[in-house]
Amino acid sequence: MKNYKTRHEENLGRLARLEGQIRGIRRMIEEGEYCMDIATQIQAARAALQAVSHRILRKHLEQCLADAAQRRSRRELDAKMTEIMNLLKRSEV
């Protein structure tokens, strides 16, 4: 199996910012901030997490799926396609 670390490092900064956002939402709740302001921040955090998810899925399509296609491995290509379809069935991609 390939080393995926370098493929995902670009998302670490985005996730660190997202962690800060979540801590901010928690603080807002603890301090009794206005509900709509909290809801707005929650939606922003969800959008940021969805963006990371889309980047990772795109990387999977560009690299993992493309690798399987280049190797002309029908079994591996079918497995990758099944993974993607299962993900799409479970999420709001």
68 versus 6: the higher-pLDDT residue is 68
Q: What is the pTM of this model?
A: 0.74
68 versus 17: the higher-pLDDT residue is 17
| DSSP conformation letters of the chain | ----HHHHGGGHHHHHHHHHHHHHHHHHHHTT--HHHHHHHHHHHHHHHHHHHHHHHHHIIIIIIHHHHHTT-HHHHHHHHHHHHHHHHHS--
Residue 40: the pLDDT is 98
Q: Domains in the chain, please, with CATH?
A: 5-90 (1.20.58.1000)
* Tens digits of residue pLDDT in 6-38: 577 889 999 999 999 999 999 999 999 999 999
